[in-house]
Structure 1
Amino acid sequence: MGREPTALTPGRLLRRCGLLLAFLALSALPAGTPRAAGGAGTLTIGVTQFPSTLHPNIDSMLAKSYLQGMTLRPLTHYDHDWEVVCFLCTEVPSLEAGSAVLETTPDGGEGIAVTYSIHPEATWGDGTPVTTEDVLFTWDVGRHPQSGVSNFELYRRILDITVIDDKTFTFHADRVTFEYGSSADFRVLPAHIERPIFESDPASYRTRTAFDSDPTNPGLAFGPYKVVSMTPGAEVALEPNETWFGAPPAFDRIVVRVIENTPALEANLLSGAIDMVPGAMGLTVDQALAFEQRHGDDWNVLFKPGLVYEHIDLMLDNPILADRRVRQALLHGIDRDAISERLFAGRNPVADGNVSPLDWVYSEAVPTYAFDPARAGDLLEEAGWTREGGSGVRRNAAGEPLRLEIMTTAGDRTRELVQQVIQSQLQDIGVELTIRNEPARVFFGQTVSQRRFSGLAMFAWFSSPENVPRTTLHCEQIPTEENSWGGQNYPGYCTPEMDALIDRIEVELDREARAELWAELQRLYATDLPALPLYWRAQPYVLPPWLEGLRPTGHMGPTTLWVEEWRRAE
């Protein structure tokens, strides 16, 4: 899962709008065709975030996924039709094809052996082939308790790896999950570069990786592009990778420029300093709507509904927020319908939980929280927070005020506006919110990922279809100093019931039975509220009319996973 989620039907909730971009079909390369760029010049992309790290398996941040869609590829990922397809591998494993086989684990449980073959021409940019040695090293890093890998559970579940040859290997997993053929989070690392760094001191590996200390090393890339220069916090430049095994990319150079202030991002578009702005890390819906009205004749503006969940993580270590009644009161005190309609013209529909109505596992049978200040007040009274004379800030029996801090990414005009609206609305029910924001690289790289926020942290999760929320909701996924801040359960939510549901969903192969478990998970999430659901974000893309081949997916697979299909129109 990547960072930056009313009982209405999906059709009413999410209305498709904007322009559909034509897809430029690419034929297969004949043998021996040079893989040089097509001479389309430079494409400059404006985004609002700079990644906290370029290491593919440490910290989950959309800005990093976007960049690495151009330089690396996962074994598998979801495509535009939300189906699992190969990127680095040659065939998605399946029980039917015999490339996945049920087996008994050493402790007598039911496991599975899943065999992948790496693309025969996959080669790191320095000429070193991508091999099973890289796979073994990645597994060593992922399962080390001090490596700081975000999804360490994935690597822990792989009991062993059988090497068949330099390009073929078998994962032996400790359980049979419905996603057994999908390995989107297994991001292969270059053993010939990273192994000496890791083995010298695993505990400090996350701060010494070559992905950050030597980002222009060509041996860190095997995708269509490689990083050729980087100015931290400001800009990354990429040029074609001569060892790339796929269709040749068209652009001679791609520059990803960070402009954290969204009004400045729009100004850079109009001045020609940048050519395009992608969804999720660019203009907000309200800005894109206004931009389309003023400049729609000169730009293609596309709104893509998808799996971007805007929410507020709650620090459950805070005694105030540890009380579920307070969490429920906060949600009753926020007029999310008004936020959706007045700020986003209804294109960002209210979220009832962490599963999108676009996802087949979505359940309408979950508790909902209408804007109800009276109910919010009752809940706060029950929790011991009272008001003198019925007004002002509430206080508990010890006289302490009901005061909380809310944080988000600085410079994001819409998030800052939503903050102010929420601050005003919660003030009406006796809750005092103080606002403190940080640049995205600090907010995500330290404050959120190391659980340094004290109250409320507003940001978005960007997920794949039917994404089991283990890393964000399971007890074992709470980041701590002991696990080098691995995991993404930033609120510190921990209940045996949620853990059991997550465990059962993953191993339930029957679709109908799994849907029932998903419905129960959504009910529990909406009852406990480890986070406050706000709305589902449409992704606005602002593209030049001469750019062809860019197709948004609606899920966490970035469009850059198909960057070699992007072309300048003739």
Structure 2
Amino acid sequence: MRRLFAILTLILSLAVPAAASARESLTIGISQYPMTLNPLIDSMLSKTYVLAFTRRPITAYDASWSLTCLLCETVPTIENGLARIETLPGGKKGIAVTYVLKSDAKWGDGTPVSSADIAFTWEVGRHPRSGVSNSEIFRRITRVEIHDSRRFTLHFDRVTFDFNVVNDFRPLPAHIERSRFESAPEAYRTQTAYDQDSTNPGLYNGPYRIAGFERGSYILLVRNEYWAGQRPAFDRIQIRTIENSAAMEANLLSGGIDMIAGELGLPLEQALALEKRQGNRFSFITRPSLVYEHIDLNLSSPILADRRVRRAMLAALDREGLSRQLFDGRQPIATSMVPPLDSVFAEDLPTTKYNPAAAAALLDDAGWRIGPGGIRVNAKGEKLTLELLTTAGNRSRELVAQVIQAQLRKVGIELTLRGEPARVMFGDTVTRRKFPHLAMFAWYSSPENVPRSTLHSSQIPSAENNWSGQNYPGYANPKMDALLDAIEAETDRPHRKALWRDLQQLYAEDLPSLPLYFRADPFILPKGMSGLTPTGHQDPSPYWVEQWRWD
């Protein structure tokens, strides 16, 4: 009888329905593996996506594009008294903004998230050698005033229209990271516990924590027992990296993954084709977004330093035809880095049309004449040959790169193509400005997001600032710097929108990057799953993973 009971128990354990197992776990496919897990270092979207399950920033924009508190209790405003204008030494105006952390916010080892964590994070962010990606927000804070363990005031050195948006101020656990930072600030980016001790529960304060991983392959998440918010539906979430988009689709169809993240999933045209074939098996959600697909130009190249060459390249690209043929016309052509969905988009700015004749004239004027084989050469006989770098395994980008190669060839520009894994491209090549000419990728943006980190001359990464900043082209124009400063300081919305128009016009004239289009992201979910709402901006959907449910 004992043997029979044991056999029956084993049979019953093996006969658990797949649906029941699915309710306990979820496997998500994404196209990139993070180069680092430190929330302040590097700007890969895959890192932001993974950490959105495990950490909460102070504030974030929700799916309705409203600023909301995730780690704080109330969004500070002048009206509610949590923000006040103050006079700084010398008579300049600053602003003091007070936040109160949620009383039940804890790190995954049970340590409360505290004002001391905020002060420590500020120390890391403002250090000139710490290597954080967006150091500007920390440098603007002149001091952190701690009132008690949960209440603190950030004193900013200027008044800006978005003074209460501290989405990029991502708290670090001081009780874990302080010793690693203070021992050698310049080496912090390689010594952080987020990379050397990634499964330490104390690094995470969200609904999940990282419990296991295989670099380049997957990250395993389990519930954070100290999370005090709504209990998430899944015991475990595995995030699998599948860099080849064809392989990702095959994994979805075979059951290797349950869903594909819209933020880092299939290209639109591949998802549309899949929906036609498999619409009865999966739920498809496609939302236009603030994702700016573009080509960064390394302006340190003597060829690309000539604005005539940059303008010629854009005129040589049939972007409307490309969008129509590859994306069914669902991805609008970009005139600048500001998306048409954004309230500050300048509708009256002209779009550079496909005009090979104009492109040829600009190249002639720049001293590049048609040479042997139809490739242009300069007076020294040097060929007009450029390299285009993009993420390897992304079928959409590979197709776009081939189209661009053919179109530039028609006006005498020779383009060679190179692909790198995303973790290499963004973790090293682009961040350290190692790409010789062109790099094609996308920026996620938030509503009315001032592009200081990508366009201001102070944000050019270099060895001197430990590769901080995201101005990868190396663009430096005093007019652009002044516009960025003016937009941030303008609290009158109509006046600010006029400045935004000037910025977009200057961007279109200077072309530090070649605008391509704004993406529409397809989310592919298992039938019966609900609660996932695409945001359409840089604060990704997993910030609200506790709302994901099985119907």
Provide TM-score, normalisation by structure 1. Answer: 0.92
Structure 2 counterpart of 1:161, which letter? V
Structure 1 residue 255 and structure 2 residue 238: aligned? yes
Q: Distance in 1 between matches of 2:285 and 2:106?
A: 35
Query: Superposition pairs for residues 83-232 of structure 1, below 5 Å?
Result: 83-232=66-215
Whichever residue aligns with residue 87 of structure 2, its letter is T
In the TM superposition, residue 105 of structure 1 has moved relative to its aligned partner by 1.5
Separation of aligned partners in 2, 1:496 and 1:294: 52
Which amino acid is the alignment partner of residue 279 of structure 1?
A: G
Structure 2 counterpart of 1:354, from 322, 337, 343:
337
Per the alignment, residue 504 of structure 2 pairs with 522
* 3-state DSSP of counterpart to 2:274: helix
Residue among 316, 324, 328 paired with 1:341: 324
Give the equivalent residue in structure 2 for 1:564: 546
Structure 1 Cα separation of the partners of residues 199 and 171 of structure 2: 18
Aligned to 1:505: 487
Q: Which residue of 1 aligns with 2:264?
A: 281
Aligned-pair CA distance for 1:169: 0.2
2:422 is the counterpart of 1:420: no
Answer yes or no: is the 8 Å Cα contact 2:455–2:475 preserved in 1: yes
Quickly say closer, same or farther: Cα 1:453–1:388, change in 2 above 3 A.
closer
Equivalent position of 2:220 in the other structure: 237
Equivalent AA in structure 2 for residue 63 of structure 1: S
CA contact (8 A) 1:365 1:523 kept: no
SS of 1:90's partner is coil
Does structure 2 conserve the Cα–Cα contact (< 8 Å) formed by 1:367 and 1:523?
no
Any idea what SS the aligned residue of 2:359 has? helix
Q: Does the 8 Å CA contact 1:367/1:526 hold for their aligned counterparts?
A: no
Larger Rg: 2
Rounded Cα–Cα distance in structure 2 between residues aligned with 1:74 and 1:99: 18
Aligned-pair distance for 1:315?
0.3
- Alpha-carbon deviation of 1:349? 1.5
Q: Report matched runs for 1:395-406 at 5 Å.
A: 395-406=377-388
Mapped contact 1:367–1:527 kept (Cα < 8 A): no
1:380 and 2:371 are equivalent in the alignment: no
Describe the shift of the 1:39–1:455 C-alpha distance in structure 2 as closer, same or farther (beyond 3 A).
closer
Which residue type is aligned with residue 427 of structure 1? R
Q: Does 1:50 align with 2:42?
A: no
Percentage identity across paired residues of the two chains:
57
Deviation at 1:367, TM superposition (A): 4.0
Provide, for residues 190-233 of structure 1, a one-character-per-residue CA deviation record: whole Å limited to 9, x for no partner. Answer: 00000000011111110110000111000000100000001111
1:181 Cα offset (Å): 1.2
Name the structure 2 match of 1:410: 392
- 1:388 CA displacement: 3.6
Question: Could you tell me how far 1:301 is from its partner in structure 2?
Answer: 1.0
Task: Confirm or deny that 1:454 pairs with 2:420.
Answer: no
Cα shift readout 1:93-148 (whole Å, capped 9, x = no counterpart): 00001100100113321000000001011111111111011001000000000000
Task: For 2:259, give the aligned amino acid.
Answer: M
1:41 pairs with 2:24: yes
The amino acid that maps onto 1:71 is: T
Secondary structure at 1:436 match in 2:
strand
Using the alignment, how far apart are the partners of 1:149 and 1:367 within structure 2?
A: 37
**Alpha-carbon distance between aligned partners in 1 of 2:38 and 2:460, rounded to the nearest angstrom:** 20
Q: Secondary structure at the match of 2:288?
A: strand
After superposition, the C-alpha distances for 1:444-464 in whole angstroms (9 at most, x for unaligned) are 000111100000000000000
Give secondary structure in 2 for the equivalent of 1:450. Answer: coil
May I ask how many residue pairs the two structures share in their alignment?
A: 531
Equivalent residue for 1:493, pick from 475, 478, 484: 475
Higher relative contact order (CA 8 A, sep 6+): 1
Distance (whole Å) between structure 2 residues aligned to residue 284 and residue 219 of structure 1 = 36
Q: Deviations over 1:510-564 (max 9, x none)?
A: 0000000000000000110000000110000111112110000111110000000
Displacement of 1:39 in angstroms is: 9.5
The Cα of 1:182 is off from its aligned counterpart by 1.1
**Distance (whole Å) between structure 1 residues aligned to residue 252 and residue 22 of structure 2:** 23
Q: Is the 8 A contact 1:408 1:436 kept in 2?
A: yes
Alpha carbons 1:49, 1:259 under 8 Å: kept: yes
> How far did 1:323 drift?
0.4
1:328 shift after superposition: 0.4
Counterpart residue identity of residue 91, structure 1: T
Equivalent position amino acid for 2:456 in 1: H
1:270 maps to 253
CA contact (8 A) 2:263 2:540 kept: no
Q: Deviations over 1:63-94 (max 9, x none)?
A: 11111111111110111111100000000000
Question: What are structure 2's unaligned runs of at least 5 residues?
Answer: 1-20
| Counterparts of 2:136 and 2:379, CA distance in 1 | 42
Provide the rounded CA distance (Å) in 1 between the counterparts of 2:142 and 2:349: 37
Q: Is the CA contact (8 Å cut-off) linking 1:142 and 1:149 kept in structure 2?
A: yes
The question of whether the paired residues in 1 share the 8 Å contact of 2:107 and 2:203 is answered with yes
User: Secondary structure in 2 aligned to 1:180?
Assistant: coil
| Deviation at residue 436 of structure 1 after TM alignment | 1.1
Counterpart residue identity of residue 477, structure 1: Q
Contact 1:71 1:227 in 2 (8 A): yes
Give the CA deviation at 1:368: 2.1
Please, which moves more after superposition, 359-368 or 422-431?
Answer: 359-368
AA matched with 2:431: S
Distance verdict in 2 for CA 1:146–1:94, change over 3 Å:
same
Give per-residue Cα distances to partners, 1:364-398, cap 9 Å, x unaligned: 23242111000000000011000148x61100001
Distance 1:224 1:39, change over 3 A: farther
Runs of 4+ in structure 1 deviating by more than 3 angstroms, as ranges, are none
Match of 1:46, SS? strand
Q: 2:282 aligns to what? A: 299
CA positional deviation for 1:40: 2.9
Q: Distance in 2 between matches of 1:420 and 1:388?
A: 22
1:481 is matched with: 463
**Of 64, 76, 82, which aligns to 2:65?**
82
Counterpart of 1:415, as a letter, is R
RMSD between superposed Cα atoms in Å: 1.0
Q: Secondary structure at the match of 1:384?
A: coil
Distance 1:512 1:173 in 2: 24
Asked whether the equivalents of residues 243 and 394 of structure 2 are also in contact (C-alpha less than 8 Å), the reply is yes
In 2: Cα distance, 1:520 partner to 1:537 partner: 24
Q: C-alpha separation between the residues in 1 aligned to 2:84 and 2:280?
A: 55
In the alignment, the residues of structure 2 paired with residue 234 and residue 108 of structure 1 have an alpha-carbon distance, to the nearest angstrom, of 55
The one-letter amino acid paired with 1:488 is Q
Q: CA deviation at 1:280?
A: 2.9
- Describe the superposition over 1:326-357 as per-residue Cα deviations: whole angstroms up to 9, x where unpaired: 00000001110111000000111211110011
Q: Letter of the aligned partner of 1:532 in structure 2?
A: L
Report the residue type matching 1:84 in the other structure.
L
- The residue type equivalent to 2:402 in the other structure is Q
